Amino acid sequence: MLRGFKRLFALLTTSVLAHSALAEEQGAERWGVNMTQGVTEVAHTTYNLHMLIFWICVAIGVVVFGVMFYSMWRHRKSKGYQAAQFHESTAVELAWTIVPTIILILMAIPATKTLYDIYDTEEADLDIMITGYQWKWKYNYLGSDVSFFSNLSTPRTQIDNQQPKGENYLLEVDEPLVVPVNKKIRFLITANDVIHAWWVPDLAVKKDAIPGFINESWTRIDEPGIYRGQCAELCGKDHGFMPIVVKAVPEAEYTAWLDERAAAAVKMRELTEKTFTFDELLAQGEKVYNRACAACHQPNGQGVPPTFPAIAGSKIATGPLDGHMSMVIRGSQKNPAMQAFGEQLSEVDLAAVITYQRNAFGNDMGDTVQPIDILNFKNKQ
């Protein structure tokens, strides 16, 4: 704690200067003060609605505060102003009940219209299932073989201030959601564990992802580009570290990408048959560990007990193989924080990460797990 305060003091004294230098090089995106106008019709309408209500509020504010400041300036005792004694007027009370009601009705009309637009999820060209997990998103292109997880790709070293922060700090992922422009895309949004919310400001789409519910939303993106967003509902420790990146591309490019991903999925299934060497598994396992496990169990395998136990020296990672596979594939029966990774990771990645956990952080089991072992384990159940 004391160290914290010392660091805070150092920050307060030095970083105001450092910051203005940083501001110079990063240019116009900083100091943003308003909602994005977005890249969809709904986003434009929402922006216009927001500005309309804002200006109405400003106008009311000018009148109310104008009268108030005028009387604070003029009607002071120090200026010898004598107080009037009026204190009632039914006509005035009625007027300032009725006039605001009329203003509100005028506001409600465009708001209602926009809401009907947003709720019209019919006749979509393309359906994408979005599932929130602690703390990543899964995208499933319905009607195709393609589905994948999208994780934060900002390195831990940038978050811990050991490296300078990149341009898209905390708003970058390993695999973005790729979608075609000018197509009506319907999102089916749900969650696997706790409530999340999928939000991309440029699309004006924000919908809660709730376990046991499938919410609907839609978008039609006007121009190709990369649009970034974040989880908007507190979902636990790494709520601030599960961004969303949408890459909108022309339709031809999208189709080519989808075909390529479908082919890759087939190839991945074939790899399940292959036998890997210990070193290959260890190398791949480390990558998978850092992507899928390190957020909770920590990069050094020490975990954050009691919710996130250590891997180093753990009974499971240094115990019988079946128990270890069961924990990773099916998740913990006792601790909901330990998810079932069986469907989240490929057989190859599961084999690699289990091998890695048994042979890293001082664990020294010396055994390997092959993808086919994983498949057999899954089929046994």
Partner 1 sequence: MAHGPQPGFKRWLYTTNHKDIGSMYLWFSFAMFLLGGCMALVIRAELFEPGLQIVQPEFFNQMTTMHGLIMVFGAVMPAFVGLANWMIPMMIGAPDMALPRMNNWSFWILPFAFAMLASTLFMEGGAPNFGWTFYAPLSTEYAPPSVTFFIFSIHIMGASSIMGSINIIATILNMRAPGMTLMKMPLFVWTWLITAYLLIAVMPVLAGVVTMMLMDIHFGTSFFSAAGGGDPVLFQHVFWFFGHPEVYIMILPAFGIVSAIIPTFARKPLFGYSSMVYATASIAFLSFIVWAHHMFTVGMPIAGELFFMYATMLIAVPTGVKVFNWVTTMFRGSMTFETPMLFAVAFVILFTIGGFSGLMLAIAPADFQYHDTYFVVAHFHYVLVPGAIFSITAGVYYWLPKWTGNMYNETMGKVHFWLAFIGLNVTFFPMHFVGLAGMPRRIPDYALQFADFNQIASVGAFLFGAAQLVFLFNVIRTVQGGNKATDEVWENPEGLEWTVPSPAPYHTFSTPPAVR
- Of residues 263 through 302, those in contact with partner 1 by CB under 8 A are none
Distance in angstroms between the alpha carbons of the first and the last residue of the chain: 49
208 and 233 in contact (C-beta within 8 Å)? yes
Q: Which of residues 322-381 bind partner 1 (CB under 8 A)?
A: 336-337
Give min distance, CB of 221 to partner 1, in A: 16
* Exposure of 331 in the CB half-sphere (CA atoms within 13 A): 15
Residue 98's CB is within 10 A of a number of other CB atoms, namely 10
Strand order in the sheet with 136-141: 147-150, 136-141, 126-133, 185-191, 215-219
Q: Which stretch binds partner 1 (CB under 8 A): 59-67, 178-186, 279-287, 353-361?
A: 59-67
**Under 8 Å CB-to-CB from 365, ≥6 apart: which residues?**
317, 318, 358, 359
Q: Which is nearer to partner 1, 196 or 324 (CB)?
A: 196
Q: Which is nearer to partner 1, 24 or 279 (CB)?
A: 24
Rounded Cα distance, 203 and 293, in Å? 31
Q: Which is nearer to partner 1, 52 or 372 (CB)?
A: 52
List 81, 142, 174, 182, residue binding partner 1 (CB under 8 A) = 81
Q: Which is nearer to partner 1, 97 or 379 (CB)?
A: 97
Give min distance, CB of 250 to partner 1, in A: 26
- Name the strand (E) or helix (H) holding 59: helix 41-74
Nearest to 244 by CA among 356, 326, 143, 137: 137
Q: Which is nearer to partner 1, 198 or 361 (CB)?
A: 198
137 and 149 in contact (C-beta within 8 Å)? yes
Give min distance, CB of 294 to partner 1, in A: 14
Q: Which of residues 130-189 bind partner 1 (CB under 8 A)?
A: 134, 158-161, 165, 167-171
Q: Which stretch binds partner 1 (CB under 8 A): 42-50, 123-131, 274-282, 362-370?
A: 42-50
Q: Which of residues 16-35 bind partner 1 (CB under 8 A)?
A: 16, 19, 22-23, 26, 29-35
Q: Which is nearer to partner 1, 150 or 284 (CB)?
A: 150
The single-letter code of the amino acid at 338 is M
Q: Which is nearer to partner 1, 169 or 278 (CB)?
A: 169
Rounded Cα distance, 354 and 325, in Å? 7
Q: Which is nearer to partner 1, 100 or 299 (CB)?
A: 100
Q: Which stretch binds partner 1 (CB under 8 A): 124-132, 178-186, 262-270, 303-311?
A: 303-311
118 binds partner 1 per the rule CB under 8 A = yes
Nearest to 349 by CA among 194, 140, 151: 151
Give min distance, CB of 123 to partner 1, in A: 17
List 237, 261, 330, 378, residue binding partner 1 (CB under 8 A) = 237
* Phi, then psi, of 216 in degrees rounded to 5: -115, 145
Rounded Cα distance, 207 and 119, in Å? 11
List 148, 149, 199, 257, residue binding partner 1 (CB under 8 A) = 199
